[in-house]
Amino acid sequence: MRVKIYASGYCSFDHIDDEGFMTLTEGASVKDVLKKLGIPMVLRRLPLVAVNYEQVKVGTELKDGDVVSLLGPLSGG
Amino acid sequence: MKGYLGKVLKVNLTTGEIADEAIPDNVYENLLSGIGLGAYYLYKNIPADADPLGPDNILGFTSGMLVGTGSLVTGRWMAVCKSPLTGGWGDANCGGDFAPAIKACGYDAIFFRGISPEPVFLQVDDQGARLCDASHLWGKDAIETEDILRKECRVKLAPKVAAIGPAGEKKSLISGIVNDGGRIAARSGVGAVMGSKLLKAVVLAGKQRTKIHDPAGMKAYSKEVGAKFKQASMPGFLKGFAFPFLGWATSKVKSASATDGLMSVMMNKTYGTIAVNTMGLPNGDSPVKNWGGSVKDFPMRKYRKLNPDRILDRKIENYSCYSCTIACGDTCDISDLGDGKVQHAHKPEYENCCSLGTNLLINDLDAIFLMSESLNRAGMDSISAGTTLAYAIECFENGVLTEEDTGGLQLRWGDADAASELLEMMIQREGIGDLLADGVKVAAEKIGKGSESFAIHCGGQEPGMHDPKLDPMLGVHFSADPTPGRHTIGAGIYYNMMNLWKEVTWAPKVTKYPKSQEYIPSDEEALKSVALSCYKMLNDACGGCFFALIAGLDHWNLFRMLNDTTGWGLSGDEYMAIGRRIQTLRQMFSVKHGVEPKDAIMTGRVMGEPPLRTGNLKGITLPIEEMVSLHWKHFGWNEKTGLPEQEIVADLEERALVQ
């Protein structure tokens, strides 16, 4: 299955294609995405990730077409 | 006419004449409304030699194409004029509740020319438009004026009011126009223009609705946007104490990538702009000590007192502008501060906390609350005022100003009492405050003695509180926008959130790239900055909010909402061409009025000349002239002078937008 990834500059993009998608095996979870993005294990439990724009736990199972967003650099004023 | 009313109200304050003026459809089709309509009207009607504070200048209050259409986060209005601060195009953007009131009175904009013989306010309601005596209001602060007029002019519903305070009345060149209890259209000196016309306030109470092409489509889209924005919530563990870590972490990232703009909504919903208070120190985003220092001068043991949670401790209730579901504002209880006369105040924005705090090495939040409220009531721009305070302190530190000049006031970094006192002197134009009340450029011209290098401005306007050495595209927009110093046009971080490339064929697509790429002048980076300029112009022509804009096309699609409103069925490229026209017209306005665009290119310490010696941004100098040159080139403007090329001007002429 393919899920859309909004990663951030601190992530590895090795597993993200030019369209911003990651291919995963059926049954893969958010934890698998974080692992492929190179997020250090100690940070993987922090809820800095949303699926379909809703915060989820890292064990949440993904399905084809899901949108996974990671917290990126923030600014404003 | 879908999304617009097709007419403006024009008021001659010298003669008292008030009349409607029809605006041709082609103006809306080529420039939309809001800032586009303002640019058309002012370019056409203000003579080149007009004194910005004289009768020939025109002050406009414009609404936007999407205001009142059922769309979400489209409640902003603009004040437009020839800027007394820069001598060129002037505008200031503001939220609150005033934008829909303009259209509810049956107009897309209201334009004032001339100078009234006595203080007046304009009232528009179902009995028509008329000028009323404002002598009893002159001298009162903007919020008090609003409160009085809401009662005095109330029929069934309280009217909406925009007013100036003492700073505008005294024609401070850094004064703005205030509505909804302290939301301020602060930039470009628009308050001084209103004060010069002896126009104290505009009071609107109309009932007209705006028709749109596809109300059902808009309703469905607003439901979708609203649901997404509602879902976007800050993770519970992410509290203010963690923000310095986030700032530090971003300073270590060597790459940039497309990100989900909805994450910015999440932050803005919970904290608003103050989330940057402490995030901006470790990564260098926040200027320190008049842009000459770094976190080393204002370390965590000091800046942690600006923790946004400490500000939210005073929160009474959430505040949102018209039609907004992000609601980045809060109303706070400040009854225990100062003389206790003011009970409630808008939460200070990041710009206030930085310009009145970090940039002055002040970490006294109570003082920042009080200074912010003073500025809102006086109707004075906090960015410009804070930057002017920093200039004065640096002058004092270097012996350019002495106690004799300041009336005995000792100006020191980190001294909140002295800063507060000097700020009041600026508002009242007392003593040295009179000299400082027109911003740093005017002050440096009068004081001289080498203080010009302490005067941080571009083209006369003090820049927003974000360091372009962290995000170089900010420096391009500081320098190249016809309203120079503007921090809400674009930056690399915003571009990566917006996903414009999905609907704009010429906007460079982003996946992941080395952060270092942003520091090298290139056609690709220039195309990005041009895209953001065009999209921002569209936004300001619609009455949209920047915080929805940066959520990106996936979550708040301006093109979709415009098509639902107008029925034009235009593509992203076609709408961006409208944005490009608006930006070119603003540039042409400045050029017509004698501004040399290259003079606004910011140099000096903001761009790293000399480079900082400490902090995350140490050693960086931006090749800003090359960056701006490429930006101009991709706008179709001369890359050396910034003047729009003949073919671009001819296109506007063919469309009957300029003569």
Q: Distance, in angstroms, between A22 CA and closest chain B CA?
A: 13
- Assess whether pLDDT exceeds 70 at residue A47: no
Measured CA to CA, the distance from residue A45 to residue A47 in angstroms comes to 6
What average pLDDT does range B344-352 have in this prediction?
96
- Assess whether pLDDT exceeds 70 at residue B552: yes
User: Does some domain include residue A58?
Assistant: yes
User: Does some domain include residue A45?
Assistant: yes
Establish if B19 touches chain A: CB-CB under 8 angstroms.
no
User: Does some domain include residue A75?
Assistant: no
The predicted-structure confidence for B451-487, as pLDDT tens digits, reads as follows 999 999 999 999 999 999 999 999 999 999 999 999 9
Measured CA to CA, the distance from residue B429 to residue B374 in angstroms comes to 14
Q: Are strands B512-514 and B255-257 parallel, antiparallel or unpaired?
A: antiparallel
Establish if A18 touches chain B: CB-CB under 8 angstroms.
yes
Measured CA to CA, the distance from residue B624 to residue B630 in angstroms comes to 10
Q: Which two tokens stand for residue B269?
A: 């919903």
Phi, psi of B557 (to 5 degrees): -100, 105
Measured CA to CA, the distance from residue B537 to residue B31 in angstroms comes to 9
- Assess whether pLDDT exceeds 90 at residue B568: yes
Q: Distance, in angstroms, between B26 CA and closest chain A CA?
A: 35
Give how far the C-alpha of residue B97 lies from the chain's centroid of Cα atoms, to the nearest Å: 16
CB contact under 8 A, B268 and A53: no
Positive or negative, the CA dihedral B165, B166, B169, B174 is negative
Domains defined along chain B, listed by start = 472-654 (1.10.599.10)
Measured CA to CA, the distance from residue B259 to residue B561 in angstroms comes to 22
Measured CA to CA, the distance from residue B579 to residue B573 in angstroms comes to 10
Give how far the C-alpha of residue A43 lies from the chain's centroid of Cα atoms, to the nearest Å: 13
Model pLDDT, residue A9: 73
Residue with tokens 């299955």: A1
The strand order across the sheet containing B128-133 reads B128-133, B120-125, B199-204, B160-163, B177-179, B183-185
**CA terminus-to-terminus distance, chain B:** 25
Measured CA to CA, the distance from residue B503 to residue B531 in angstroms comes to 12
User: Does some domain include residue A76?
Assistant: no
Instruction: Tell me the helices (H) and strands (E) count for chain A, helix number first.
Output: 1, 5
What average pLDDT does range B102-123 have in this prediction?
98
B96 and B180 Cβ atoms separated by less than 8 Å: yes
Establish if B256 touches chain A: CB-CB under 8 angstroms.
yes
Length of chain B: 659
Strand partners, A5: A68
User: Does some domain include residue A36?
Assistant: yes
What average pLDDT does range B16-21 have in this prediction?
98
Measured CA to CA, the distance from residue B251 to residue A73 in angstroms comes to 9
CB contact under 8 A, B263 and A9: no
Give how far the C-alpha of residue B613 lies from the chain's centroid of Cα atoms, to the nearest Å: 31
CB contact under 8 A, B232 and A53: yes
From B102, B95, B92, select the one nearest B74 (Cα to Cα).
Answer: B95
Model pLDDT, residue B375: 98
Measured CA to CA, the distance from residue B503 to residue B507 in angstroms comes to 8
Measured CA to CA, the distance from residue B424 to residue A35 in angstroms comes to 56
Establish if A14 touches chain B: CB-CB under 8 angstroms.
no
pLDDT band at A44 (very low <50, low <70, confident <90, very high): low
Helix, coil or strand: residue A4: strand
- Assess whether pLDDT exceeds 70 at residue B415: yes
Q: Distance, in angstroms, between B281 CA and closest chain A CA?
A: 12
Task: State the amino acid at position B144 in one-letter form.
Answer: E
Q: Which of A12-16, B338-342, B566-570 has the highest mean pLDDT?
A: B566-570
Strand partners, B110: B9, B61
Q: What is the CATH number of the domain that holds A35?
A: 3.10.20.30
B238 and B279 Cβ atoms separated by less than 8 Å: no
Q: Are strands A2-6 and A67-70 parallel, antiparallel or unpaired?
A: parallel
CB contact under 8 A, A72 and B511: no
Model pLDDT, residue A76: 53
Give B311's contacts (C-beta < 8 A, 6+ positions apart): B274, B277, B332, B347, B348, B353, B365, B369
Helix (H) or strand (E) holding B629: helix B624-635
The shortest CB-CB distance from B231 to any of A18, A54, A77 is to: A54
Domain span at residue A42 reads 2-70
> Does B252 or B538 have the greater pLDDT score?
B538
The predicted-structure confidence for B518-528, as pLDDT tens digits, reads as follows 999 999 999 99
Q: Distance, in angstroms, between A26 CA and closest chain B CA?
A: 24
- Assess whether pLDDT exceeds 80 at residue A48: no
Three-state secondary structure along B493-521? HHHHHHCHHHCCCCCCCCCEEEHHHHHCC
Residue B236: its chain A contacts at CB < 8 A? 47
Model pLDDT, residue A46: 65
Which of these ranges, B110-114, B257-261, B333-337, B407-411, has the smallest mean pLDDT?
B257-261
Q: Which one of A19, A43, A53, A54 makes the best mutation probe of the B interface by having the most chain B beta carbons within 10 Å?
A: A53
**CA terminus-to-terminus distance, chain A:** 39
pLDDT band at B250 (very low <50, low <70, confident <90, very high): confident
HSE-up of residue B315 (Cα within 13 Å, Cβ side): 16
Helix, coil or strand: residue B567: coil
Q: Distance, in angstroms, between B525 CA and closest chain A CA?
A: 17
The shortest CB-CB distance from A13 to any of B238, B496, B512 is to: B512
CB contact under 8 A, A74 and B275: yes
Scored b (16 or more CB within 10 A) or e, A23-59 reads ebeeebbbbbbbbbbebeeeebeeebbbbbbebbebe
Task: State the amino acid at position B485 in one-letter form.
Answer: G
Measured CA to CA, the distance from residue B64 to residue B37 in angstroms comes to 9
- Assess whether pLDDT exceeds 80 at residue A43: no
* Rounded alpha-carbon distances, angstroms, from residue B618 to B450, B455, B457, B467: 24, 21, 21, 12
User: Does some domain include residue A77?
Assistant: no
Give the largest Cα separation in chain B, rounded: 67
The shortest CB-CB distance from A76 to any of B250, B260, B350 is to: B350
* Rounded alpha-carbon distances, angstroms, from residue A77 to B99, B103, B248, B404, B618: 21, 28, 18, 37, 23
Phi, psi of B41 (to 5 degrees): -70, -40
The mean pLDDT of chain B is 96
A34 and A58 Cβ atoms separated by less than 8 Å: yes
The predicted-structure confidence for B120-140, as pLDDT tens digits, reads as follows 999 999 999 999 999 999 999
CB contact under 8 A, A76 and B275: yes
Alpha helices in A1-77 (DSSP H): 30-36
Scored b (16 or more CB within 10 A) or e, B499-522 reads bbbebbeebbebebbebeebbebe
- Assess whether pLDDT exceeds 80 at residue B237: no
Measured CA to CA, the distance from residue B449 to residue B544 in angstroms comes to 44
Measured CA to CA, the distance from residue B443 to residue B395 in angstroms comes to 11
DSSP secondary structure of B382-439: HHHHHHHHHHHHHHHHTTSS-HHHHTSPPP-TT-HHHHHHHHHHHHHT-THHHHHTTH
- Tell me, what's the ipTM? 0.79
> Does B352 or A35 have the greater pLDDT score?
B352
Instruction: Tell me the helices (H) and strands (E) count for chain B, helix number first.
Output: 27, 17
User: Does some domain include residue A21?
Assistant: yes
B606 and B472 Cβ atoms separated by less than 8 Å: no
What average pLDDT does range B592-620 have in this prediction?
96
- Assess whether pLDDT exceeds 80 at residue A71: no
CB contact under 8 A, B254 and A11: no
CB contact under 8 A, A76 and B354: no
CB contact under 8 A, B267 and A76: yes
CB contact under 8 A, B466 and A75: yes
Residue numbers of B between 198 and 237 with CB closer than 8 Å to A: 228, 231-233, 235-237
CB contact under 8 A, A10 and B253: yes
Q: Distance, in angstroms, between B45 CA and closest chain A CA?
A: 34
Measured CA to CA, the distance from residue B572 to residue B566 in angstroms comes to 14
Give the largest Cα separation in chain A, rounded: 42
Q: Distance, in angstroms, between B168 CA and closest chain A CA?
A: 24
Give B401's contacts (C-beta < 8 A, 6+ positions apart): B392, B395, B411, B432, B447
- Assess whether pLDDT exceeds 60 at residue A77: no
Please report, rounded to a whole number, the percentage of residues in chain B having pLDDT higher than 90: 92
Establish if A26 touches chain B: CB-CB under 8 angstroms.
no
Length of chain A: 77
pLDDT band at B622 (very low <50, low <70, confident <90, very high): very high
Residue numbers of B between 511 and 540 with CB closer than 8 Å to A: 511-512, 515
pLDDT band at B103 (very low <50, low <70, confident <90, very high): very high
Residue with tokens 């607003």: B222
How many other CB atoms sit within 10 Å of the CB of residue B301?
A: 8
CB contact under 8 A, B262 and A53: yes
Which of these ranges, A36-50, B470-484, B487-501, B566-580, has the smallest mean pLDDT?
A36-50
What average pLDDT does range B637-646 have in this prediction?
97
Measured CA to CA, the distance from residue B42 to residue B589 in angstroms comes to 8
- Assess whether pLDDT exceeds 90 at residue B47: yes
Give how far the C-alpha of residue B526 lies from the chain's centroid of Cα atoms, to the nearest Å: 22
How big is the A-B interface in CB pairs under 8 Å? 106
- Assess whether pLDDT exceeds 60 at residue A75: no
* Nearest-Cα residue of chain B relative to residue A77: B273
Overall number of domains in chain A: 1
How many other CB atoms sit within 10 Å of the CB of residue B296?
A: 13
